[in-house]
């Protein structure tokens, strides 16, 4: 896909050297968008457009002054208005490249549009927003929530998923959001949990269909003691245990 688009390679290398954080974010959005697109049974061509749109979606940020681009605090209204120009600036930057699809360009232009019309730059709503941008807008918002920023710490996945859930049907396409909530685990592998029975555990496996009830390994028992053997608990099949708190 990228090899067919030399302009894309150049823009991505530009972005990597320009702002590594935006580059990393774009790669994360690309992976999430393709996984979500596959869950929505999108054909291969649409998945390619999703990937391309995701990699390039914040390209317009390169034209913003660094304090606004890096978003190091609360922006003034004038600064926020400038920040909001980045989807259109990115779209304009790509406009002259005929071999970048209209779908990928729509992703770039519309990734901050929101389902209820509260987004920008055109305040589009519902299915007037291109499906790729409805997918992209959601995964962009999710990755933003779980990423550290200069002015705020990242949310844990279960907290970010709660924000997405709360925005379902309002900010995000309900069908797209429902699929997202079915494929992203609130407690990914490595999460540390406190169980209602007092054990501190670490998530070691998440099975499809049981995202909120992973298989965990006991780190310390209810008395705070480290077990002398490996103790696994399948939260999906053992009703004695429930998650009390997410520790990290
Ligand atoms: Fe953006």
Q: Where in the chain is the domain with CATH 1.10.3210.10?
A: 6-183
Q: What is the pLDDT of residues 167-185, one digit of tens each?
A: 999 999 999 999 999 999 9
Query: CB within 8 A of 170, min separation 6: which ones?
Result: 114, 115, 116
**Cα 87 to ligand 1 centre (Å):** 6
- Say how far apart CA 238 and CA 4 lie, in whole Å: 51
Q: What is the mean pLDDT of residues 68-80?
A: 82
Q: Ligand 1 center to residue 136 CA distance, Å?
A: 10
Q: Per mean pLDDT, which range of 18-32, 40-54, 122-136 is the poorest?
A: 18-32
Spacing, Cα 20 to ligand 1 middle (Å): 15
Which pLDDT score, from 0 to 100, does residue 133 have? 98
Give 39 Cα–ligand 1 centroid separation in angstroms: 23
1 pLDDT tier (thresholds 50, 70, 90): low
Nearest one of 110, 9, 95, 3 to 50, comparing CA atoms: 110
* 6-183 topology per CATH: Hypothetical protein af1432 (1.10.3210)
Q: How many helices (H) and strands (E) does the chain have?
A: 10, 5
Q: What is the pLDDT of residue 146?
A: 95
Average of pLDDT values for 156-175? 97
pLDDT band at 240 (very low <50, low <70, confident <90, very high): confident
Mean pLDDT of 58-83: 86
């Amino acid at each position: 896909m990228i090899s067919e688009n030399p302009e894309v390679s150049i823009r991505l290398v530009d972005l990597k050297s320009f702002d590594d954080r935006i580059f990393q974010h774009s790669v994360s959005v690309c992976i999430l968008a393709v996984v979500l697109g596959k869950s929505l049974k999108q054909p291969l061509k649409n998945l390619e457009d999703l990937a391309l749109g995701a990699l390039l979606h914040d390209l317009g940020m390169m034209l913003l002054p660094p304090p606004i681009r890096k978003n190091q605090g609360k922006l003034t209204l004038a600064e926020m208005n400038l920040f909001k120009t980045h989807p259109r600036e990115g779209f304009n930057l790509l406009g002259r490249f005929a071999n970048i699809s209209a779908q990928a360009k729509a992703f770039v232009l519309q990734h901050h549009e929101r389902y209820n019309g509260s987004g920008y730059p055109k305040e589009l709503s519902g299915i007037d927003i291109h499906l790729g941008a409805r997918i992209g807008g959601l995964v962009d918002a999710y990755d933003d929530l779980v990423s550290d920023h200069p002015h705020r710490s990242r949310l844990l996945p279960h907290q970010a998923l709660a924000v997405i859930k709360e925005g379902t049907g309002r900010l995000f396409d309900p069908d797209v959001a429902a699929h997202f909530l079915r494929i992203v685990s609130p407690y990914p592998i490595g999460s540390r949990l406190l169980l209602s029975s007092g054990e501190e555990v670490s998530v070691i496996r998440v099975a499809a269909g049981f995202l909120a009830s992973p298989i965990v390994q006991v780190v310390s028992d209810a008395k705070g003691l480290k077990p002398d053997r490996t103790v696994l608990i399948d939260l999906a099949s053992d009703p004695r245990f429930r998650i009390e708190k997410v520790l990290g």
